[in-house]
Amino acid sequence: MTNPRTPLASLSDDDLAGFLAEQRSAYAALQARGLKLDLTRGKPSAAQLDLSDDLLSLPSTTKDAAGVDVRNYGGLEGLAELRAIFAELLWVEPSQVIAGGNSSLTMMYSTIVDFLLFGGVDSPRPWSQEERVRFICPVPGYDRHFSMLASFGIEMITVEMHDDGPDIAAVEALVKDDPSIKGIWIVPTYANPSGAVVSQEIAARLAAMPAAAPDFTIFWDNAYAFHHLTEDEAKSADILTLAAASGHPNRPIMFASTSKITFAGAGVAVLAASEANVKWYLAHLSMGSIGPDKVNHLRHVEFFKNADGVRAHMRGHREIIAPKFAAVDEALSEGLGGLEVAEWSHPKGGYFVNLDVLDGTASRVVELAKAAGIALTPAGASFPHGKDPRDRNIRLAPTFPALDEVRTAMAGVATCVALAAAEKVTADRAAGVGAGGDVPSPETAEPATEGAAR
């Protein structure tokens, strides 16, 4: 039997043929199991949702701390007590926080709409009146950020997402002389899907860098700020203070929510920004709303009590999902370790594991997994328009299935990766184009626009 710890590219032709035959046999056995497993979206499991069931019996009163009836109209900026909790968690002042409905994605969407229709605080004109509007999108990244921009016809320029944040030199060069570049998406803490954490240095450079567009905006989606998987808890950079100190107080707009903290469909979303940006956002929001669901706000205040209550609650989440992430790493290491056909992240927080396979095989891996009853996020989903120029990236979402299902699914994924890699190396040798090669490091890829070929 071929040594599974031998790099695939180093095998002789005969050993490679033997390895391919073994993987085909293993895959046939996998298909025969009749699995029906789903790792497509980063959703909380039922056990995680159960942690918040006490919300169903709250609030115990109908009045906030000031004695105002939360069942009535008003309070567009959200309940003061809830804003105070998030202000502490996000390192801002309560006056910089707006508490809204259940979806931070909705707040992001409405913010871009306001920029397009009216322009921002520092905009010379509405973005819709600009000749061209473009965004920088670190990749791999969050697919819904990209699909949102695409729905508005906003062009996307990709830069690599490193372990400490986006390729800052590339970002600085892009924004310096191009006024059409109006924004950048950043998931600063345990980024989707790589698990990267933006360093203080990178955050400071983003806040201070010269930009040709006076209204260049950092969309700081801090979705996983409190979603730690270890006791080594990453601290988000204080982007609002950094920007204000650099003379660009209106540059960042931060978003967060309790979607993966309490109930995914009935949580609370917040926006945090400079007081000028808060005033701007509320002015436009007031045309379409008389106030958020303050009953739900109060429910969350009573449930958490304070910022420490949120932190303690998240430790309960960690106990449930950390073993699932460990299972992903164990299965991939067992099935692929030493073959040099894949690399994967080892996140300390967030909801995803980033898997990079041999160039040109990610789509095949997803196809093989589907045929074996394992649903994965489509290859390329973490890139604009779903097009990964190298067809190597797969986002793994282990939180929703039960632990045993994660183990089973990831062992199956490892089989699919090994089979696809063996097919690719075999085909490359037959075509005389080499032995497939190692998985290239992210730093070797060049920036691309809208998924253009690299």
Model pLDDT for residues 46-101, shown as the tens digit of each residue: 999 999 999 999 999 999 999 999 999 999 999 999 999 999 999 999 999 999 99
Gap between the Cα atoms of 364 and 425, Å rounded: 13
pLDDT (mean) for 281-293: 97
The reported pLDDT for the residue numbered 453 is 27
pLDDT (mean) for 409-436: 91
Burial 66-92 (b: 16+ CB within 10 A, else e): eeeebeeeebbbbbbbbbbbbbebbbb
- Residue 164 pLDDT greater than 70, yes or no: yes
**Considering the chain, what is the average pLDDT of its residues?**
94
Tell me if the bond preceding 59 is cis, omega within 30° of 0: yes
pLDDT (mean) for 114-120: 98
Q: Which amino acid belongs to residue 282? A: L
pLDDT (mean) for 196-223: 98
Residues 6 or more apart from 138 whose CB is under 8 A from it?
158, 159, 160, 161, 165, 166, 167, 184, 185, 186, 191
Domains and CATH numbers, the chain: 8-48+312-449 (3.90.1150.10), 63-304 (3.40.640.10)
pLDDT tens for each residue of 311-368:
999 999 999 999 999 999 999 999 999 999 999 999 999 999 999 999 999 999 999 9
The reported pLDDT for the residue numbered 434 is 60
Residues 6 or more apart from 419 whose CB is under 8 A from it?
20, 23, 24, 26, 27, 368
In 63-147 the beta strands, taken as DSSP E runs, fall at: 97-99, 134-139
Q: What three-state secondary structure class fits 168?
A: helix
- Cα 401 off chain centre by: 19
Structure tokens belonging to residue 442: 């992210």
Instruction: Return the bridge partners of 256, or none.
Output: 270
Q: How confident is the model at residue 446 (pLDDT cuts 50, 70, 90)?
A: very low
Say if residue 375 is exposed, middle or buried (CB neighbours under 10 Å; 0-12, 13-18, 19+): middle
- Residue 444 pLDDT greater than 90, yes or no: no
Gap between the Cα atoms of 341 and 409, Å rounded: 19
Instruction: Give whole-number Cα distances, 66 to 6, 63, 135, in Å.
Output: 68, 8, 42
**390, 442 in Cβ contact below 8 A?**
no
Look at 30-39, 112-121, 435-444 and tell me which has the smallest mean pLDDT. 435-444
The reported pLDDT for the residue numbered 435 is 46
pLDDT (mean) for 149-159: 98
pLDDT tens for each residue of 19-56:
999 999 999 999 999 999 999 989 999 999 999 999 99
Q: How confident is the model at residue 387 (pLDDT cuts 50, 70, 90)?
A: very high
